[in-house]
Amino acid sequence: MDKTKIKSFQTTLENMAREISRQANEQDRRAIVVETSAEQCEQDVLAAQRDMAVQSLSRRTRLLRDVNAALARIREGSYGECLECDGPIGERRLRAVPQARHCIACQERMEGSSQCSFRVQWAA
Closer to Zn ion by CB, 87 or 95: give it.
87
Is 94 in contact with 80 (CB distance < 8 Å)? yes
Phi and psi at 101, nearest 5°, equal -100, -20
Single out the residue of 71, 82, 94, 100 in contact with Zn ion (rule: CB under 5 A).
82
Residue 104 Cβ, how far from Zn ion at the closest point, in Å?
A: 8
84 near Zn ion, judged by CB under 5 A = yes
Q: What is the DSSP letter of 37?
A: T
Q: Do the beta carbons of residue 84 and residue 103 sit within 8 Å?
A: yes
- Tell me which of 85, 91, 115, 116 binds Zn ion, using CB under 5 A: 85
Tell the smallest beta-carbon distance from residue 109 to Zn ion (Å).
Answer: 8
Give the nearer residue to Zn ion in terms of CB position, either 71 or 82: 82
Enumerate the H helices of the chain as residue ranges: 3-36, 43-76, 91-96, 104-123
Is residue 103 at the binding interface for Zn ion, with CB under 5 A as the rule? yes
Subset of 13-72 contacting Zn ion (CB under 5 A): none
Stretch that binds Zn ion, among 28-36, 54-62, 81-89, 93-101 (CB under 5 A): 81-89
Q: Residue type for 18, please?
A: R
**Contact assessment for residue 30 and residue 57, using Cβ atoms and an 8 Å cutoff:** no
- Using CB under 5 A, list all residues that contact Zn ion: 82, 84-85, 87, 103, 106
